[in-house]
Amino acid sequence: WWKHLGLEKTLPFARNRLVESFIWTVGAAYEPQHSYCREVITKLVCLITWVRHCKAYLLEAKWFHSGYKPKLKEYLDNASVSVEAPLILVNAYFAMHPKIAKDAMLYINNCPVLFRLVGMIVRLTDDMETSTAELERGDNIKSIQCYMKDKDVTEEVVREYIRDLTYKTWKKLNAEMLSVLCPKNSLKFVCTKQEQQK
């Protein structure tokens, strides 16, 4: 399906990350009964890789080319969406649960807080791991650099702050998961993956 799609020819910046994407999903949804979920999420991650370069980074590209350095809050408001975790989360839920309860559908439609929290955790975790290498490649500034600029502090201080912010965001996510409205097990896929990365 990937070769048939032909993205490498029409979009030369679209890297072939099929195997990498599949291995990521195996680590997150390894149970045999979730083979369909692995297939769906692998395809989704492959497509998101180039879609986010076309669409989700538009604001970040504007920041980069204009020399604008956003404040941390502004960066996270955009980055927690552009990180693609919310889209993967929703698709993983539907791929893992062939019969979707009506209350789960209502929750997914009416609860952007949950998806924003997941996106923020993924974004902060990724920034802590890849920020330096991405800057060396010429990428946009990340949360670390935004906070350094905001508060005029060292990278070591910022990294401690980002770790604390990630921890607090996990606490908010846990509280959201324990809420009466949240369908149980709906975040198992993403939460398991994030816990494995710690």
113 pLDDT higher than 50? yes
Contact 120, 86 (CB under 8 A): no
Residues whose CB is less than 8 angstroms from the CB of residue 101 and which lie 6 or more positions away in sequence, other chains included: 183
Distance of CA 73 to the CA centre of its chain: 17
Where residue 172 falls among pLDDT bands split at 50, 70, 90? Answer: very high
Among 69, 78, 80, which Cα is nearest to 166's? Answer: 80
| DSSP state for residue 102 in the 8-state scheme | H
Q: How far apart are CA 29 and CA 115, in angstroms?
A: 19
One DSSP character per residue, 27-67 reads HHS-SGGGHHHHHHHHHHHHHHHHHIIIIITHHHHHHHHHT
Domain of residue 64, CATH code: 1.10.600.10
Please give the tally of structural domains in the chain. 1
| pTM of the predicted protein model | 0.64
The predicted structure's pLDDT at residue 124: 92
Domain housing 190: 2-197
